[in-house]
Amino acid sequence: MRKLRKLFYLLVSSTLLLGCKPTPESQTSNTKEISNLEYVDQKDSDIKEYSFLTDNNPAFKEITFESSIKFFTEGYSGILYYGKVGCPWCERAVPILNDVAKDNDISIYYIDANKGMGETKREREENYANLSKYISDSFQEDDNGKKGMFVPDVIAVKNGKMLAYHVSLVDDYDIHKNDQLSESQKQELYNIYQEMINQIK
């Protein structure tokens, strides 16, 4: 009787332990997500050229424009940042976005708007049309009333769906060459980014 009881407990214990093992599907999807994105080599990335970013190990991973589309077509989750060095709004957004990412122990996927959307005009048009299908709600109107992509454009994606976006900085900030956001404006922008991260958790 004692041997049967031990055998029973052994079987129950081993069954419970098997339940703790990650499923092959979750292991594969993590590997797939990493291998399917085309990362830009850190030495070729200009993320450290943002003038107000003082972090030597920023929380950004640069990916190609085409890889950013894969977040939608292949059902990935993450925070995408479209921007460029030299854009005064981007320069001020990046350090705050970096702080939020570090505080949440995540990476931000950086798409350098200076590098373009493709080699040929046709490629650029196709890529822009493809991306527009997924993020056109984040597009803003220019002075002529035409909608298009403006940077910085930060997008929260969960399972291939855009859940939130934020373009520019904060409403009550008028940009001048050397002016910085006030502490309260920085906190407001931080909170906006934090809320976006909360939505994809």
Q: Quick: pLDDT tens for 41-63.
A: 776 788 999 999 999 999 999 99
Judge residue 123's burial from the number of C-beta atoms within 10 Å of its C-beta, 0-12 exposed, 13-18 middle, 19 or more buried: middle
Question: Is residue 18's pLDDT more than 70?
Answer: no
Q: What is the rounded CA–CA span in Å between residue 77 and residue 72?
A: 9
**Domain residue limits, the chain:** 1-36, 38-200
In this structure, which CATH number among 3.90.950.20, 3.40.190.10, 3.40.30.10, 3.30.70.260 belongs to the domain 38-200? 3.40.30.10
Contact 159, 75 (CB under 8 A): yes
Average pLDDT over the chain reads: 83
Question: Is residue 93's pLDDT more than 50?
Answer: yes
Judge residue 75's burial from the number of C-beta atoms within 10 Å of its C-beta, 0-12 exposed, 13-18 middle, 19 or more buried: middle
Residues in the chain: 201
pLDDT reported for residue 177? 65
Return the number of other C-beta atoms located less than 10 Å from residue 52's C-beta: 14
Instruction: Give the predicted TM-score (pTM) of the model.
Output: 0.80
Provide the percentage of residues in the chain whose pLDDT is more than 70: 81
User: Considering only 35-44, 108-117, 153-162, which range has the smallest mean pLDDT?
Assistant: 35-44
List pLDDT tens digits, range 168-199: 999 888 787 678 899 999 999 999 999 999 99
* Closest-CA residue to 200 (of 111, 132, 113, 104): 104
